[in-house]
Amino acid sequence: MTFHDLVVNAERLLADLRDLSVFGRNAGGGIDRASFSAADATAREWLAGRCAEAGLEVMTDAVGNIFVSSPRLEEGIAHHPAVWTGSHIDAVPDGGAFDGALGVIAAIEVLRTLHEAGTGLTRPVRAVSFSDEEGSFAHLFGSSAIARGFGVDQLEAMIGRDGARLAEALPSALTVSLADAAAVGPPPEGVAAYVELHIEQGSLLEASGVPIGVVTGIVAIGGGTVRFRGRADHAGTTPLDRRQDAGLAASEFAVALPALASATSADAVVTTGIMRFDPAGSNIVPGGAEVSVDFRDVELERAIDLGNRIAASASEIASRRGVGVEIEFEETVPGARMNDAVRGAIAGAAAGLGLDAIDIRSGAGHDAQNMALIAPTGMIFVPSVGGRSHSPAEYTRDDDVVRGASVLLRTVLALVRG
């Protein structure tokens, strides 16, 4: 048998995807698996066990990225630039079972299939699971560390969604220091190519009836937190015109955002996914309010421009309402164009399997946009039922999962051949 005749083991792939979904599953059926949480730790342990059973080797770097390799396939070529494939196993709060998990499990299945077939590859293939893609601490954290790097001071300043400091969460989860984490970067030999299989998370593929999307590019993403500071007062005795109501400032700000995005471009979107009042009591005028902001556009300059307008709007609302404001935005992550050769390899792989494919743009962020900074990069999308994602309703049919992994296997083989 030649490598070209290989097929993934559909049953094993689907079973692993189901088994991974147990970790962090909540009573409502959603998945709570933030990076460096207890659920993440058990998922990592399970993943390492599955790899070890298959004879694969697992290495975790100092920011929690997991690399899986086949010693047998790498004999004599271990230091050559490798083809990487993967995604992430962390999930948004109350997330679904496919976002990220599909790309990691399919990558391991591809590597396992190649490993079982024996030797003869001219480049190493590595499966990778990037840590904290969903930004419990920083959006696309693990791949950012590899492609762009973090200084110790940046790592020091990272506060998680639940208020924990990365400086405590990371060393206790991985027994590493922040200096170790700051030293993470691209491998010295480089990366030959990166390809990621992911669910679409939108409804274009389903609507077009086409099973495979060849991603053309990924949006730029910016955002962070805006904090309004007013004064806590009695809800019954403080006249309306004497209040410094941070909650109302935050609410007005959130309502104003969509118009700012629409005025920037037809592609721009903005979301306030978190709003917290402090104190939060039904009979207290909120003295403090915190709002998360996530803004995106296909063009980096437009995304940055939108970020500036959002900041200006927060300042204007705050000064008109007599409250203070503090704006803390992360550096806007640039979008990325996918590499033509990798796109060609994906399209060729789909055609070779008799599957229709269409070009598609990603409105979601992916580790691929960081990997595009250091390697020729591409992404394969498979349909999301109803376009649902970042929700327990997220679902991709078994046939589509298997099709996606099959296209991934053939793409990886094409990239190994170069």
- Identify which of residues 74 and 196 has a Cβ nearer to ligand GLV in the complex: 196
Handedness of CA 170, 175, 176, 177 (dihedral sign): positive
Contacts (CB under 5 A) with Mn ion, residues 69-108: 99-100
For residue 211, the partner it binds in ligand GLV, Mn ion, none, with Cβ less than 5 to 8 A by kind, is none
Per rule CB under 5 A, count of chain residues that contact Mn ion:
2
For residue 16, the partner it binds in ligand GLV, Mn ion, none, with Cβ less than 5 to 8 A by kind, is none
Q: Could you check whether the bond before residue 258 is cis, i.e. omega within 30 degrees of 0?
A: no
Tell me if 135 contacts Mn ion by CB under 5 A.
Answer: no
* Cα 300 from Cα 2, distance rounded (Å): 44
* Cα 394 from Cα 384, distance rounded (Å): 7
* Cα 43 from Cα 54, distance rounded (Å): 17
Q: Where are the beta strands (DSSP E) in 230-356?
A: 233-234, 269-271, 275-278, 284-285, 288-297, 324-333, 336-337
For residue 365, the partner it binds in Mn ion, ligand GLV, none, with Cβ less than 5 to 8 A by kind, is ligand GLV
End-to-end CA gap in the chain: 21
Position of tokens 């995604």? 87
H/E stretch holding 413: helix 398-417
For residue 224, the partner it binds in Mn ion, ligand GLV, none, with Cβ less than 5 to 8 A by kind, is none
- Identify which of residues 17 and 220 has a Cβ nearer to ligand GLV in the complex: 220
- For residue 289, the minimal CB distance to ligand GLV (Å) is 23
- For residue 26, the minimal CB distance to Mn ion (Å) is 17
- For residue 134, the minimal CB distance to ligand GLV (Å) is 6
- For residue 283, the minimal CB distance to Mn ion (Å) is 38
- Identify which of residues 99 and 290 has a Cβ nearer to Mn ion in the complex: 99
- For residue 50, the minimal CB distance to ligand GLV (Å) is 24
- Identify which of residues 74 and 133 has a Cβ nearer to Mn ion in the complex: 133
Contacts with ligand GLV by CB under 6 A lie at 134, 364-365
- Identify the three-state secondary structure at position 31: strand
**Phi, psi of 263, rounded to the nearest 5 degrees:** -75, -20
* Cα 36 from Cα 220, distance rounded (Å): 26
- For residue 285, the minimal CB distance to ligand GLV (Å) is 33
- Identify which of residues 95 and 230 has a Cβ nearer to ligand GLV in the complex: 95
Tell me if 247 contacts Mn ion by CB under 5 A.
Answer: no
The β-bridge partners of 327 are 226
Residue numbers of the site for Mn ion (CB under 5 A)? 99-100
